[in-house]
Amino acid sequence: MMEKKRVVFYGRVSTQSEEQLSAFSNQMTWYEQLLGQHPEWTVVGQYEDPGVTGTSVRKRRGFQQMMEDGIRRHQYDLIVTRETKRFARNTVDALSCVRLLKEHGIEVFFVNDAIHTISDRDGELRLSIMATIAQEESRKISENVKAGQRISRQKGILRGNGNILGYRRTGRNQYEIDPQQAAAVKNIYQWYLEGKSIRNIGRMLEQQGFCTSTGKRIWRQEVIAQILRNPFYTGRQLQLQRVSDGYLTQKRKRNSPEAMEYIAGAYEPIISAEMFEEVQRLKNARRSPKGDRGKKEGGSVWCGRYICSCGRKMVRRSGRSGEHRFFCPSRYEKNGSGEVHGGTWEDWKETEDWKRTADWKGTEDWKVTADWKATAEWKLDMIAFYVIRDVWDERESDLEQAWKAIAGCLKEENGTDGRECRAFKEEIQKLERRRQILIDMRIDGELSKEDYLKRREECDTRISVLKKTLSESENSGEAGKETAGNGGEANLENVRTELEHLTDLTGPKLAKELVSAFIWRIVRTSEHGYKVFLRHGGMGEDIPKTDPVLTGYGRLWSLRGSMAEWDAESQGAEKEAPDSCGFLMTRILTYGDAVSYRAMSGRRVMKNRWEDLTVYIYSQNPMGRSTADTGE
């Protein structure tokens, strides 16, 4: 008795064209006729991929389903396909899939090539040859397609389905303006040049009853943004924006701007090239820097600025009273079982995490650090309050110099603004005279209607842009006019008031900008001891080379090793030589200091819980030299 084999058929064509789909239907009919020649076959299914390339398995869902049904579920014993290039046009895919099927006892029969992958001894050899030929055919087809597209671009043939707002497609490469839609396009560009946002433009289009190219009355912002960056409205099409990375993988990727090509079309533009370029310039000017997108300003000036002696940046958390506290994350790291230890030194040194850490964790310094209490944020604010008041003893003279420099810059800028405004007005007058000349030439019949409209639109666009720029210059220069006139003193006084507010040293909470300008890092050295490193200051005693925390301005002690997690600032310009930092003074903050500081905020300090804070103040030397070098 003849043993029956469970058989599946696989068919594929590369495109969805009518001719190829007809050929695909013929493929499946041919399989049914082939079945009559093999009574030992029992058909259990068929898999097909119409209109999918054979250069990659990734896009062929029918092929993937066939492999899964055979390997995981073993639903069949034999795959029958017409020829190698129907199965795959990629040598690697063909051989790897056939070998995988062979491991699970499944054979592939290529009818036209007469290849049985299991029963034929040289089946894999012949398959590799045929698969290589099929792959080479794909490469040649890809090159021919690219050559055809290149010739089409040289002939100025446009691509796309023609559904573009403002135009009606009347034939291949032929477009005519839709007056109603073209009015919407012109309004979009004109309103954008007038300074309106894309959201406001959408609202105005909806209020005036304009429809999109698909007939919708709701205007999405991305649709308007696409219209504003589409050069098709200037009479040309941008092609090669996205290209394939290769004929095998065929993944689409964005092309480089230099490789893109503009193809001029034989149709009437809606927007002038000058207006389009001006819109692109404004779009680039309004765009936020890439690095600033989505960034949120930190809630505290001490985040990343307050460092534990172990080298870790202190973490900020809210406390029970609503005030924030900082603690070292090492104290609350997870142990080997995934639990937060948060215990004492004796608990911590028994964890698995302890055994994987650096040798410096065995020091007495680390043992003490592990049991330190969290630092209240108001204590750091108090340290900054007293330290800055102590070191900035020339505040009044510094502010006076800064104010004089600002006043001089404002006066110089006002003069420049006046000259720019006069130049803008002169240019506008020239364009208005040119526009009147165009009207006269049109009346006399010297210009055709098309030439007149084109030149008139160029003048109007330029005048609109200049008027907008002039308005901005006049608004920005309004303060300068007051300075030059009777109200100048009052305006400068406002600048001075703002400067005094920024550098105010009387309130409990100093401005973040002031603290950032003075203090680079605060390092906790003991339960009640701190080292403050200033950005600027006078000369003093050198920091000893054996300092356990910092051996220089911005340098973390070397014992921390590879676990140091400094940000780019500490690794860049802020990182100075080890001996370029000098000791200034020691400041003891007593209970009386704390009471006076907290009273400004209406808070109290409990005397039985207070311990005096010892603050060691260091500063970078002005010339970047140690005091030993200067002889002081």
Give residue-wise pLDDT tens across range 295-317: 555 578 898 899 988 778 888 88
Sign of CA dihedral 285, 290, 296, 298: negative
Q: Who has greater pLDDT, 466 or 377?
A: 377
pLDDT of residue 262: 81
Degrees, nearest 5: CA angle 535-540-545: 85
Between 396 and 248, where is the model more confident? 396
Query: Of 495 and 119, which is predicted with more confidence?
Result: 119
Contact 595, 516 (CB under 8 A): no
Identify whether residues 230 and 269 lie together within a single domain: yes
Q: Are 473 and 582 in a shared domain?
A: no
Whether 52 shows a pLDDT value over 60: the answer reads yes
User: How much is the CA Rg of the chain, to the nearest whole Å?
Assistant: 38
Measuring CA to CA, which residue among 140, 145, 182 is closest to residue 165?
182
Query: Which residue has tokens 């991929």?
Result: 49
Give yes or no for residue 356 having a pLDDT over 50: no
Looking at residue 434, its pLDDT comes to 85
E-only strand ranges, 390-524: 519-524
The band of 293, judged by pLDDT with boundaries at 50, 70 and 90, is low
Q: 564 versus 400: which is more confidently predicted? A: 400
CATH of the domain at 260: 3.90.1750.20
The pLDDT value given to residue 334: 44
**Is residue 79 located within the same domain as residue 93?**
yes
- Statement to judge: residues 135 and 217 lie in one domain: no
**Measured distance CA(206)–CA(201) in Å, rounded:** 9
* Domain that includes residue 449, residue range: 396-502
Q: Is there a single domain that holds both residue 129 and residue 16?
A: yes
Same domain, 454 and 526: no
DSSP code at position 57: S
Mean pLDDT of 109-118: 90
Q: What is the pLDDT of residue 627?
A: 41
320 found inside a domain: yes
Q: If pLDDT is split at 50, 70 and 90, which confidence band does 442 have? A: confident
487 pLDDT band, cuts 50/70/90, is very low
Q: Give the domain-ending residue among 238, 256, 287.
A: 287
Q: What average pLDDT score do residues 600-614 get?
A: 89
Shared domain for 521 and 433, answered yes or no, is no
Rounded to an integer, the average pLDDT of 382-401 is 85
Answer yes or no: is pLDDT of 377 > 50: yes
Q: What is the mean pLDDT of the chain?
A: 76
The reply to whether 180 and 319 lie within a common domain is no
Q: Are 162 and 175 in contact (CB under 8 A)?
A: yes
Do 377 and 497 fall within a single domain?
A: no
DSSP string, 220-246: -HHHHHHHHT-GGGGTEEEE-SEEES-
The confidence score (pLDDT) of residue 224 equals: 92
Condensed to tens digits (0 to 9), the pLDDT of residues 519-561 reads: 989 999 888 899 999 885 433 333 333 333 333 333 333 323 3
| Winning range, highest mean pLDDT, from 97-111, 465-479, 577-591 | 97-111
Q: Which two tokens stand for residue 74?
A: 């073993």
CB-based contact 427:512 (threshold 8 Å)? no
**How many folded domains does the chain comprise?**
4
- What pLDDT score was predicted for residue 21? 58
Residues 497, 617, single domain; the answer is: no
Banded pLDDT at 402 (limits 50, 70, 90): confident
The CATH number given to whatever domain includes residue 104 is: 3.40.50.1390
Contact 554, 521 (CB under 8 A): yes
Q: Is the pLDDT of residue 136 over 50?
A: yes
Q: Give the tens place of pLDDT for each residue, 414-440.
A: 555 566 777 778 888 888 888 888 888
Which range among 126-135, 172-181, 257-266, 324-333 shows the weakest confidence by mean pLDDT? 324-333
Q: Does 159 fall in a domain? A: no
Residue that wins the pLDDT comparison between 259 and 345: 259
| Residue with token string 């959408």 | 202
Higher pLDDT, 130 or 567: 130
| Least confidently predicted of 78-82, 243-247, 256-260, 283-287 | 243-247
319 belongs to a structural domain: yes
* Percentage of residues of the chain with pLDDT beyond 70: 74
Domain boundary at 502, 526, 556, which? Answer: 502
Between 144 and 74, the more confident residue is 74
How far apart are the C-alpha atoms of 411 and 617, rounded to whole Å? Answer: 40
Residue 301 belongs to some domain of the structure: no
Length of the chain: 632
**Whole-number pLDDT of residue 413:** 57
pLDDT, position 77: 93
529 with 382, same domain: the answer is: yes
CA 518 – CA 332 distance, rounded (Å): 31
Q: What is the pLDDT of residue 489?
A: 57
Q: Which residue has the higher pLDDT, 593 or 399?
A: 593
**Which residue has better confidence, 193 or 344?**
193
Q: What is the mean pLDDT of residues 243-261?
A: 77
- pTM check: above 0.85: no
For residue 160, being part of any structural domain is answered with: no
Tokens representing 492 are: 């400068």
Q: Which of 480, 502, 524 is the last residue of a domain?
A: 502
Predicted pLDDT of residue 586: 92
Neighbours of 8 (CB within 10 A): 22
- Looking at the fold, whether 530 and 422 belong to one and the same domain comes out as no
Mean pLDDT of 245-266: 77
Assign 490 a pLDDT band (cuts: 50, 70, 90): low
Does residue 347 sit within a domain? no
Domain assignment present for residue 537? The answer is: yes
Q: Does residue 200 surpass a pLDDT of 50?
A: yes
What is the rounded average pLDDT of the residues 482-509?
A: 68
Please determine, for residue 27, whether its predicted confidence score (pLDDT) is greater than 70. yes
- Write down the pLDDT at residue 542: 37
Q: What is the mean pLDDT of the segment spanning 200-222?
A: 91
Query: Quick check: is 296 in a domain?
Result: no
Least Cα distance to 104 among 65, 75, 62, 63 occurs for: 75
